[in-house]
Amino acid sequence: MPTNVVMEALSPTMEEGRLVEWKKQEGDAVAVGDVLAEVETDKAVMELVARAAGTLLKHIVEAGATVPVSEPVAVIGSPGDDTGEGGKRGGGEAGAGQRGSGASGEKDRGAAGQRDSKESQGTQPSPGQSRPVSMPPAPPAGAATEHRPSPESPSGSKDNGVKSDSPAPARDQQAEPRVKASPLARRIAAERGVNLVGITGSGPEGRVVARDLEGVAAKAQSSTAPPPSRPAAQPYTDVPLSQIRKTIARRLAQSIGPVPTFYLTTEVDMERIWEARQAQLALSGAKGAVGKLESGEGGRDVSVSFNDITIKAVALALRQHPACNAWWQDDRIRYWNEVHVSMAVAIEEGLITPVIRHADQKTLREIAAESRDLAGRARERRLKPEEYTGGTFSVSNLGMLDIDEFTAIINPPEAAILAVGRIGQKAVGHEDAVVLRRRMRLTMSCDHRVIDGATGAQFLKTLKGMLENPLTLVW
Amino acid sequence: MATLTYRDALNHALREEMQRDPNVFLMGEEVGVYQGAYKVSRGLLDEFGPMRVVDTPITELGFAGVGVGAAMVGLRPVIEFMTWNFALLAVDQLVNSAAKMRYMSNGQVGVPAVFRGPGGSALQLASQHSQAFESWYAHIPGLKVVMPATPADAKGLLKSAIRDDNPVIFIEGEMLYNIKGEVPEGEHVVPLGRADIKRQGSDVTIICHSKSVGVSLKAAEQLANEDVDAEVLDLRTIRPMDTEAVLNSVAKTHRCVVVEEGWPFAGVGAQVVDTIQREVFDELDAPVLRVTGADVPMPYNKQLEKAAKSDPAKVVSAVNQVLYRD
């Protein structure tokens, strides 16, 4: 008696699949578990495997066809079995009986449901719970959960019995990975809308248990990926330390002082910024030299310094790299959804770091005006505490003192500080020639407990790109 | 509040119930003249006479059957087995007669009898005399199974068992007879089917009964030194089980260890775990673990016997596992 091969639901949300390629041809012998075809689901290309042994008698659909879940795509049986209409409709007398029981779309669900009954019986299909032994998820609603003997298969129970022994082809590999989590952790995650994928479990074999979710904010993102860069209602997101993060923090702190710092240096071509700034100065009628303040009415004509430009670029780059806009909080990392740039200002007694709040949302002129004001009052020791606390990233500039490059000390709990050197002309390769270009060296000190090398480097790359293409600062 | 031994608390319960209800009588081996193999019935023969304190031959099946018959015609027998190991001979009367009578007579004939005696192991009594049979009887619809762990519970539960209209399997602990504890004076009745929190805690629930209550409390003390706050829940009645108390506690602590003296396979703990995983699955932060006796006939050798029994160290280890502290 021939058995229909149906399009299976190879992902929880799959409603139809495109048969990409037949792996078994008509006439081929097939064993249970053999890959019959590749099927493209809504998520990935996966394998359709045989649930019955015999000979592949017929391809009901050709490669390339899109087939709804549960519709037959092929027939497996013994050579000589009638595969004509019978194959398509379930075959023989029994098939006729089944025709009477429902529409053709329904008719194969008995078989599918039967195969899946172990999965669907008494359990709620739940994403992330697909088993390593990868039987397809329960078919869509209406699937039978009882062991209805299938007219197409020689013996329903036999078919079913075979399944559990069949090797598990890696059919769920493309699906969301199964997360091991305690029932309580799953419940908490569901209540808070937290995706368990990416949360490092501290239980046996990485099981996520309730304590791993302590402090995970509601709506925390689906992984340890940094929070979204759009301004959020909550100013920051606390992410509890994963095991690897804890280990990195502990070991690196042992290695180098309380803040395990590493440094990244890049050199930025400032020629275009230079030109842009000169043009801007000319337009606003300023005659001053670099960095000189031209105060006008209401601060409208405040000239914009390279430091202001750097702050603005840093703020915008932080938007793209929230992983660098963070605080080390001992048991967690606070990823800020707001960007507050601290700028180091030298004063008589030492230095202080007034904060340009929401620097990413301010224009260059606003930043320029604010930084002048803050720096002025800093030197006069007239800053209020809230004006020099709460920064999320620091910028320290010694360029005006002719320093080529330096390393700055991180201002805890911030995770990084950018040391800005002078802008100077250098002979560099440019468009296939050695020419003099204005260059500036940036050195970023990173708290390795929060920021890894690549993370910091990516931020610097973005920052460099912005400074070398000044239009990005205004767009 | 008087301080009594477990043995005397049982004695008081018997005496008070026999004083209260003339239908209550005690029957078994050595209960009369010898004052009880474990002296639980001390003084009762003198007070109530040989019609109500009846010495029997060594015939467990026989006197258990007499007890069932007496209960069927309106008396309230308390049948003492010298130990539950000897009661194996009487299982037919307990399972096929006592447990079935009410059902098979369509409710016309009940068996308000108590079958009591010590169960479990003592010290070096070897394989045949060191067995915990509570799960056997708890398996049978129609039987109630009661196992007090303290003198107060021993008295209060025995009184309730005698007053109950159903056959009650009342399993005492041979090693518990000498423990002392405060017992409320006068009428002290502990209802059947009600568990008791012997120690409040928030980090893990240790479910236990009978001798394993002491084991669990010791484990809880050790755990307290490690800043683990364990709750110890004494089932007291194995059947009907106080499911509500079990579930409430587990829902509070999210972690559970079930401790018992008996063998692991189909033990009392297996039933507890089944209930927990079905009813409060989403409260669990770890698999429920069981601490049981070793799955072997009880060794006679002293060290092997010790190794085969559940003890505080094994409970502490299981608790550490469910707390992911290892």
Asked whether B308 and B296 are in contact (CB, 8 A), the reply is yes
Q: Which is higher by pLDDT, A11 or A153?
A: A11
CA B36 vs CA A277, B24, B82, B150, B157: distances in Å: 107, 17, 8, 20, 20
Residue-level pLDDT at A91: 35
Which of A59-63, A118-122, B46-50 is most confident? B46-50
B168 and B250: one domain?
A: no
Scan for tokens 């569901």, then name that residue.
Answer: A190
Point out the least confidently predicted range of A346-355, A410-419, B258-267. A346-355
State the best of B277, B281, B324 to mutate against chain A, taking most chain A CBs within 10 Å.
B324
Number of structural domains chain A divides into:
3
Percent of the residues in chain A that have a pLDDT greater than 70, as a whole number: 70
List % helix, strand, coil for chain A (3-state, nearest 5): 30, 25, 45
Point out the least confidently predicted range of A108-112, A375-379, B91-95. A108-112
Point out the least confidently predicted range of A278-282, A428-432, B221-225. A278-282
Q: Which is higher by pLDDT, B114 or A186?
A: B114
Instruction: Examine the residue annotation and report whether B17 is marked as an active-site residue of this protein.
Output: no
pLDDT band at A146 (very low <50, low <70, confident <90, very high): very low
Assess A203–B contact: CB distance below 8 Å, yes or no: yes
Scan for tokens 């007694």, then name that residue.
Answer: A349
- 8-state DSSP, A425: E
**What value does the mean pLDDT take over residues A438-461?**
94
Contact call for B285 and A186, based on CB within 8 A: no
A157 and A195: one domain?
A: no
Helix, strand or coil for residue B248? Answer: helix
Say whether pLDDT at A17 is over 70.
Answer: yes
Task: Using CA coordinates, name the residue in chain B closest to A183.
Answer: B282
Contact call for B286 and A187, based on CB within 8 A: no
List % helix, strand, coil for chain B (3-state, nearest 5): 40, 20, 40
State the best of B285, B288, B320 to mutate against chain A, taking most chain A CBs within 10 Å.
B285
Q: Indicate if ipTM > 0.85.
A: no
pLDDT band at A124 (very low <50, low <70, confident <90, very high): very low
Residue-level pLDDT at A445: 94
The domain that holds A65 is classified in CATH as 2.40.50.100
Task: Using CA coordinates, name the residue in chain B closest to A122.
Answer: B278
In a domain, A234, yes or no: no
Number of structural domains chain B divides into:
2
Q: What is the pLDDT of residues B198-217, one digit of tens each?
A: 999 999 999 999 999 999 99
Mean pLDDT, all residues of chain A: 74
CA B127 to chain centre: 20
Scan for tokens 């394998």, then name that residue.
Answer: A47
Using CA atoms in the order A311, A312, A317, A321, what is the torsion angle rounded to 10 degrees?
A: 70
Say whether pLDDT at A441 is over 60.
Answer: yes
Point out the least confidently predicted range of A256-270, A390-404, B109-123, B250-264. A256-270
A71 and A41: one domain?
A: yes
The domain that holds B133 is classified in CATH as 3.40.50.970
Neighbours of B311 (CB within 10 A): 16
Cα A326 to Cα A178: distance, rounded to the nearest angstrom: 30
Contact call for A209 and B284, based on CB within 8 A: no
In a domain, A233, yes or no: no
Instruction: Examine the residue annotation and report whether B60 is marked as an active-site residue of this protein.
Output: yes
In a domain, B191, yes or no: no
Say whether pLDDT at B304 is over 90.
Answer: yes
Number of H helices and E strands in chain A, helices first, is: 12, 19
Residue type for position A419 = A
**Token output for A337:** 């959804």
Contact call for B285 and A210, based on CB within 8 A: yes
Cα B209 to Cα A397: distance, rounded to the nearest angstrom: 72
Neighbours of B105 (CB within 10 A): 12
**Token output for B146:** 């009661």
Q: Looking at CA atoms only, how far is residue A144 from chain B in angstroms?
A: 24
Residue-level pLDDT at B142: 97
Catalytic residues of A: 448, 452
- What domain range includes position B267? 196-322
A195 and A263: one domain?
A: no
In a domain, B94, yes or no: yes
Assess A206–B contact: CB distance below 8 Å, yes or no: no
- What domain range includes position A469? 246-474
Q: Looking at CA atoms only, how far is residue B326 from chain A in angstroms?
A: 9
Percent of the residues in chain B that have a pLDDT greater than 90, as a whole number: 98
Cα A73 to Cα A59: distance, rounded to the nearest angstrom: 6
Assess A381–B contact: CB distance below 8 Å, yes or no: no
Asked if omega into B240 is within 30° of 0 (cis), the reply is yes
Chain A contacts of B283, Cβ < 8 Å? 183-184, 187
Q: What is the pLDDT of residues A386-400, one digit of tens each?
A: 888 899 999 999 998
A55 and A16: one domain?
A: yes
B155 and B11: one domain?
A: yes
B30 and B117: one domain?
A: yes
Closest Cβ–Cβ partner in B281, B283, B285 for A209: B285
Residue type for position A398 = L
In a domain, B188, yes or no: no
A270 and A160: one domain?
A: no
Closest Cβ–Cβ partner in A183, A187, A203 for B324: A203
Q: Looking at CA atoms only, how far is residue A47 from chain B in angstroms?
A: 34
Which of B161, B183, B205 is where one domain is finished? B183
Task: Considering the candidates B30, B129, B139, B188, report the single residue annotated as catalytic.
Answer: B129
Assess A122–B contact: CB distance below 8 Å, yes or no: no
Assess A438–B contact: CB distance below 8 Å, yes or no: no
Q: Which is higher by pLDDT, A297 or B259?
A: B259
Contact call for A183 and B324, based on CB within 8 A: no
Residue-level pLDDT at A301: 56
B307 and B263: one domain?
A: yes
Give Cβ neighbours of residue B182 (< 8 Å, ≥ 6 apart).
B1, B2, B3, B4, B151, B152
Assess A166–B contact: CB distance below 8 Å, yes or no: no
Chain A contacts of B285, Cβ < 8 Å? 182-185, 209-210
Give Cβ neighbours of residue A295 (< 8 Å, ≥ 6 apart).
A301, A302
Between chain A and chain B, how many beta carbons pairs sit less than 8 Å apart?
A: 27
The domain that holds B239 is classified in CATH as 3.40.50.920
Residue-level pLDDT at B267: 96
Cα A423 to Cα A271: distance, rounded to the nearest angstrom: 10
Q: What is the pLDDT of residues A227-283, one digit of tens each?
A: 444 444 577 888 877 777 777 777 777 766 778 889 999 999 999 888 888 887 887
Say whether pLDDT at A71 is over 60.
Answer: yes
A103 and A78: one domain?
A: yes
Output the furthest CA–CA distance in chain A (Å, rounded): 99
Asked whether A251 and A347 are in contact (CB, 8 A), the reply is no
Contact call for B283 and A202, based on CB within 8 A: no
Task: Considering the candidates B16, B17, B29, B60, report the single residue annotated as catalytic.
Answer: B60
Q: What is the pLDDT of residues A289-303, one digit of tens each?
A: 444 444 434 444 568
pLDDT band at A9 (very low <50, low <70, confident <90, very high): confident
Which of B183, B205, B233 is where one domain is finished? B183
Q: Which of B199, B175, B184, B119 is nearest to B152 (CA)?
A: B184
Contact call for B285 and A204, based on CB within 8 A: no
**Pairing verdict, β A433-447 and A416-430:** antiparallel
**What value does the mean pLDDT take over residues A37-52?**
80
Which of B149, B183, B217 is where one domain is finished? B183
Asked whether B143 and B98 are in contact (CB, 8 A), the reply is yes
Using CA atoms in the order A133, A136, A139, A143, what is the torsion angle rounded to 10 degrees?
A: -50
Q: Looking at CA atoms only, how far is residue A313 from chain B in angstroms?
A: 46
Say whether pLDDT at A331 is over 70.
Answer: yes
Closest Cβ–Cβ partner in A183, A185, A209 for B281: A183
Determine if residue A70 is left, alpha or beta; phi over 0 gives left, psi from -120 to 50 gives alpha, anything else beta.
left
Chain B contacts of A182, Cβ < 8 Å? 284-286
Neighbours of A269 (CB within 10 A): 17
Cα A151 to Cα A4: distance, rounded to the nearest angstrom: 10
Residue type for position A420 = V
In a domain, A212, yes or no: yes
